[in-house]
Amino acid sequence: KGDIAILAIESSCDETAAAVVVNGRDVRSNIISSQIALHTLYGGVVPEIASRKHIEKINQVITEAMQEAQADWADIDAIGVTYGPGLVGALLVGVAEAKAISYARNIPLVGVHHIEGHISANYIENKELEPPFLCLVVSGGHTHLVKVLDYGKYEILGRTRDDAAGEAFDKVARAIGLGYPGGPKIEKVAHEGNPHAVEFPRPKIADGEYDFSFSGLKSAVLNHLNSCKMKGIEIVQADIAASFQKAVIDVLVGNAMHAIEKYQIDKFAIAGGVASNGTLRGAMEEECRKRNVAFYHPSPILCTDNAAMIGAAAYYDYRAGIRSGLDLNAVPNLKL
């Protein structure tokens, strides 16, 4: 028949997701059951609760994905599943489910790296995008500047030495009383604030040209809040949010443009939850335009965790002959 249809499953953090993707770029269904409301009560993702919720939801999410795609099991050429990195108990639910379907229905299994999934989200809406290109992956757990040399072939130019960009958003949001998840909430209130109200540091790593560090910036925000309290200065949430967001964006844009110039990159993409930030997207777009670099980004729904991106990545792995056995295990700290 020629076409390759993948049923993809994602459960690495707090979204239970399944999708049917044909030939890596044609999304026939993309079902996401979000646990965010549940974890908001605790100010962050509670791993034990995440695992239990995945178990409750996973069969329903897969059934919906198959129905919406009008797919029969006989149409599915492979099951793609995230096996790392992520929360081990959360990952295990998706991996066990994928293995069970693979065994029971005799369908090949392809284990997918979560970051490879985020990068591959760019293929879905940009049909012309092909490697090589540079990709900045910014999520709650990762901040990686990656050269995509070919499908499934990556070279990491830089990474965070401490907190991920999304983690910094979440921690600062909590400190200024915005709650979880911090990214979207900071972006929203930042629209009302002055990004130059507080000059937070733009941390640079001396010995790692393209590496990132966000914990110092987070501390600077906390110190600023404390000193305002001590001096009785009123804290303007929107100004802090806007100034912090500007500092993160300046660092991300600065590093990416430095690599673009050094390696003479002509195609640049962003990915991961933080890539859904419209102010970041706008800044990247403008800097790319100045340098005549083609800029790519997924729609917000494909930036945050989803299974369509896992289906896109699984397709290229499948095409390269990669298959996982029934001994596939969850690997919480899986390397790219």
Of the candidate residues 62, 240, 274, 308, the single one contacting ligand KG4 (CB under 6 A): 274
Residue 13 lies near ligand KG4 (rule: CB under 6 A): yes
**Listed ranges 68-76, 89-97, 134-142, 200-208: which one lies at the site for ligand KG4 (CB under 6 A):** 134-142
Q: Which is nearer to Zn ion, 66 or 252 (CB)?
A: 252
Q: HSE of 103 in the Cβ direction (CA atoms, 13 Å)?
A: 10
Q: Which is nearer to Zn ion, 140 or 195 (CB)?
A: 140
d(CA 222, CA 228): 10
Q: Which is nearer to ligand KG4, 183 or 195 (CB)?
A: 183
Tell me the number of residues near ligand KG4 by CB under 6 A.
20
DSSP letter at 4 equals -
Of the candidate residues 113, 305, 310, 313, the single one contacting ligand KG4 (CB under 6 A): 305
Q: Report whether 183 belongs to an annotated binding site.
A: yes
Q: HSE of 66 in the Cβ direction (CA atoms, 13 Å)?
A: 15
Residue 139 lies near Zn ion (rule: CB under 5 A): yes
- Cβ density class 261-273: b for 16+ within 10 Å, e for less: eeeebebbbbbbb
3-state SS, residue 100: helix
Minimum CB–partner distance for residue 90 and ligand KG4 (Å): 11
Of the candidate residues 170, 211, 239, 317, the single one contacting ligand KG4 (CB under 6 A): 170
Residue 187 lies near ligand KG4 (rule: CB under 6 A): yes
- Rg (Cα) of the chain, in Å, rounded? 20
Of the candidate residues 29, 82, 277, 324, the single one contacting ligand KG4 (CB under 6 A): 277
Q: Which two tokens stand for residue 195?
A: 């990004």
Q: Which is nearer to ligand KG4, 183 or 203 (CB)?
A: 183
Beginning with the edge strand found earlier in the chain, give each strand of the sheet holding 153-159 in spatial order.
Answer: 153-159, 143-150, 133-138, 267-271, 294-296
Minimum CB–partner distance for residue 125 and ligand KG4 (Å): 17
**Listed ranges 67-75, 105-113, 133-141, 170-178: which one lies at the site for Zn ion (CB under 5 A):** 133-141
Residue 181 lies near ligand KG4 (rule: CB under 6 A): yes
Minimum CB–partner distance for residue 229 and ligand KG4 (Å): 25
Minimum CB–partner distance for residue 325 and Zn ion (Å): 25
Of the candidate residues 77, 305, 310, 312, the single one contacting Zn ion (CB under 5 A): 305
**Cα angle for residues 322, 66, 137 (degrees, 5° grid):** 50
Q: Which two tokens stand for residue 228?
A: 């305002």
Collect all residues with Cβ–Cβ distance below 8 Å to 31 and sequence separation of at least 6.
17, 18, 19, 61, 64, 65, 68, 307
Minimum CB–partner distance for residue 304 and ligand KG4 (Å): 4
* Residue that has been written with the tokens 């507080």 in this structure: 198
Angstrom CA distances, 264 to 67, 137, 155, 258, stand at: 45, 19, 15, 10
Residue 166 lies near ligand KG4 (rule: CB under 6 A): yes
User: At 249, which amino acid appears?
Assistant: I
Q: Which is nearer to ligand KG4, 94 or 273 (CB)?
A: 273
Binding site for Zn ion (CB under 5 A): 139, 305
Binding site for ligand KG4 (CB under 6 A): 13, 139-141, 166-167, 169-170, 181-184, 187, 272-274, 276-277, 304-305
